[in-house]
Homo-oligomer: A and B are copies of this chain.
Amino acid sequence: MTRAPASRALESTPLWLKLSSYLVLSDEEKMYLADLERTIDRVSPRTDLLQQGERYRDVRIMREGWAIRHKALPDGRRQVVNFVLPGDIIGMYCTLFESADHSVTTLTPVEVASFPPEKIGELFRSFPRLAAALAWSGAREEAIVAERLLSLGRRTALERTAHLIVELLRRLSVVNMVTDGHFVLPVTQEILADALGLSIVHINRTLRRLRDSGLIELNGQRITVNDVRQLASVGQFDELYLHLIRAPRRLERAFSGAHHHNGARMDGENRPKA
């Protein structure tokens, strides 16, 4: 793990992009966020950022690369709970727990920022709108896991696989990682299998079917989605669960501090005072 200076503090980081799709945030908030992303580590592929049973440390922001959040059974069976993509947060509520009930492992070279969990409290106090945006990001993660539960419980292998591909497409779009319907999927079939609750052989069969039907193409790690509509329909994909809609108006009342009398609007370009 290499620690490196932040090179693009005031550029648009993936997290910033993601949060911006939800809430218009002020420059001041952008600066605070940039500060959270100041301490940066570079991590090699196939490295654990966190291990099941281990004590939690810092909160982390994924800036670049892919990782997986996964849980293992004592006998080695493994389930990938979710993919960690640029702009995702790792262990946002880690202070609340004594130790981690899952592992996080990098798939590619990764760039992560870390900050001490106390910052979260500070955030809620001083930048409630930003905190709300982060809370949204966290709640959305839960929604994604719940949707994957629906997949594993009630969708067939073909449906699950199609659904996952569309989900990744949508999530990656938000952070500008999709061009013309294709993106890099730095994932072995074993990992896909562990994410979808299938055997590696069956994932292979299923991908073949999707390729044969012309819905997707695979060249190495690049996947091209030829017909999103149809793929989404195969996977019974309904993007409601991604909660991509902008923040509802009522958010202001709930999260902005009553002790900040600045009249800031939740959906405007206004900003609360520090």
Contacts and interface: CB of A to CB of B under 8 A. Distances in A.
Closest 9 CB pairs of A and B: A153-B197, A101-B241, A152-B152, A95-B254, A79-B153, A77-B154, A93-B139, A79-B150, A96-B136
A18 to B, nearest CB: 14
Interface in A87-144: 93, 95-99, 101-102, 117-118, 120-122, 124-125, 128, 132, 135-136, 138-139, 141-143
Q: Interface residue tally of chain A, by bracket? A: 35 or more
A201 interface: no
Given A146-B145, A154-B78, A256 B73 contact: no
Interface in A228-258: 236, 238, 240-241, 243, 245, 247-248, 250-251, 253-258
Contact of A79 (B81, B124, B145, B149): B149
Contacts of A75: 236
Contact of A125 (B147, B253, B257): B257
A146 B71 contact: yes
